[in-house]
Amino acid sequence: MRIPLVVVTGIDRVAMDSTLLSLQWDLPRAVVVSHSIDPVLQTLTRTVSDTHGTVESAHIDLEHACVGCALREDLLPTIERLARDRRWQTIVASLPVGAEAEHLSHAITRDPQVARRVKLTAVIATVATTATVDDYLGSSWLRDRGLHSGPDDDRGLGQAVCGQIEYADIVVAPDQPDPEVWDLLQALHRPTAQALIGIETIDTQALLQQRHNAQDAYAWRMPRSFQPVPLLRADHAWRLDLVSPLACDPDSFLEQLNVLGEGPYRSRGCFWVPSRASTANLWDGAGGHVSIGHHSRWGSATPLTRIVVTGVGEAPENFPLAFASMLLSDGEALLRNSGQHMTEDGLEPWLGGISRAS
């Protein structure tokens, strides 16, 4: 029988530790494996504990290794080893501050030794009660708060925390957050996830019975289909679902990038251009930081351009027009690609060469 695995993420160490302590005592014979990263010394610290105290502790040098790879190389074997030890019935894995559970979920499914011994039942995103809207939609970098994983971690704070919330099965705050923050959390988390106030409200019995749906979580984070998002009912938050089957004009796309990407908003989605018709490209932004890049191939799926934008206060009236202005009509797309194959489209710094994308 596979052992249930619960994963905890967050950007606030206090909120994460409070959740870990509660789960450690409430889940049956639980063992907690916690990883933290010193971004200056570039060391990974692993601590394993249960209700009797610390079981083991180790420090791993990350100077010559990718942090993500190091986590997979250390966390996965540790989880598999703990699952083989019959002392425990539940494993709780606490990721480093700012880390996302999506990578671990994929790694588990690809590792037969781990997949046969553990079942990922839930991903829990913890949020601090003192968090403000600026923590989610502001322009801060992770390194501004000392939360980066290393010298190459150039993620925005909002990109990291919003990504954690969107992917989670449960979003939990220790106490009642600010009303604007709570409405924003309601807008960010996927419809099938829970948003809870109070760690004690987590139903640990149900937690062990459920199963993390990676496909559902991933589809919410990366909306690469025409499936509509549910109607948002919130006093302070809003959400715009900008979607079209049309391709983007590369020049217009770059012109509107700042319009749709700048400001205190969360934006996520995909886009395509005629010069790279087989490629689905990623849009991931928060607080003025926008990442675009090659994501995957469309395959049998119908190409689309879609950006889901979330914020608080009043929704910008110019967003729908800016979105529409970067799209090509079907006729324009045909005309643009007629005659000869394009050798460049201006998106090379982000998407690479056209020949490579094709």
Q: Supply 111's token pair.
A: 């590792």
Q: How confident is the model at residue 354 (pLDDT cuts 50, 70, 90)?
A: confident
Lowest mean pLDDT among 20-29, 67-76, 136-145, 285-294: 67-76
Q: Give the architecture-level CATH label for domain 3-221.
A: 3-Layer(aba) Sandwich (3.40)
The superfamily in CATH containing domain 237-357 is: CobW-like, C-terminal domain (3.30.1220.10)
Lowest mean pLDDT among 10-14, 96-100, 284-288, 343-347: 343-347
Q: How confident is the model at residue 64 (pLDDT cuts 50, 70, 90)?
A: low
- Per-position DSSP letters for 236-248, written without gaps between them: SEEEEEEEESSPB
Lowest mean pLDDT among 68-77, 98-107, 300-309: 68-77
Q: Give the three-class secondary structure for 20.
A: helix
For residue 338, the model assigns a pLDDT of 45
Q: Give the three-class secondary structure for 55.
A: strand
Return the higher-pLDDT residue of 160 and 62.
Answer: 160
Q: How confident is the model at residue 291 (pLDDT cuts 50, 70, 90)?
A: very high
Q: How far apart are CA 23 and CA 30, in angstroms?
A: 8
Mean pLDDT for 198-204 is 95
For 31, residues 6+ apart whose C-beta sits below 8 A from its C-beta are 48, 49, 50, 55, 82, 87, 88, 90, 91, 92
Residue intervals of the chain classified under CATH 3.40.50.300 are 3-221
pLDDT surpassing 50 at residue 215:
yes
- Per-position DSSP letters for 95-152, written without gaps between them: PPTT--HHHHHHHHHH-HHHHTTEEEEEEEEE--TT--HHHHHS--BGGGGT--SSTT
Cβ neighbour number for residue 42 with a 10 Å cutoff: 18
Mean pLDDT of the chain: 91
Angle at 108 between CA 174 and CA 187, to 5 degrees: 40
For residue 65, the model assigns a pLDDT of 59
Q: How confident is the model at residue 301 (pLDDT cuts 50, 70, 90)?
A: very high
Q: How confident is the model at residue 39 (pLDDT cuts 50, 70, 90)?
A: confident
% of residues, the chain, pLDDT over 70: 94
For residue 339, the model assigns a pLDDT of 38
Q: Which backbone phi and psi does 156 adopt, to 5 degrees?
A: -75, 150
For residue 337, the model assigns a pLDDT of 55
For residue 171, the model assigns a pLDDT of 97
For residue 66, the model assigns a pLDDT of 66
Q: How confident is the model at residue 40 (pLDDT cuts 50, 70, 90)?
A: confident
> Are the beta carbons of 357 and 294 closer than 8 angstroms?
yes
Return the higher-pLDDT residue of 343 and 51.
Answer: 51
Tell me the pLDDT tens digit for each residue of 133-182: 999 999 999 999 988 888 888 899 999 999 999 999 999 999 999 999 99
Please list the alpha-helical segments (H only) found in the chain: 13-26, 67-84, 101-110, 112-115, 133-137, 157-167, 179-188, 204-209, 214-221, 250-261, 319-325, 330-337, 348-351, 354-357
Residue intervals of the chain classified under CATH 3.30.1220.10 are 237-357
Mean pLDDT for 242-271 is 94
Nearest to 95 by CA among 115, 117, 116, 68: 68
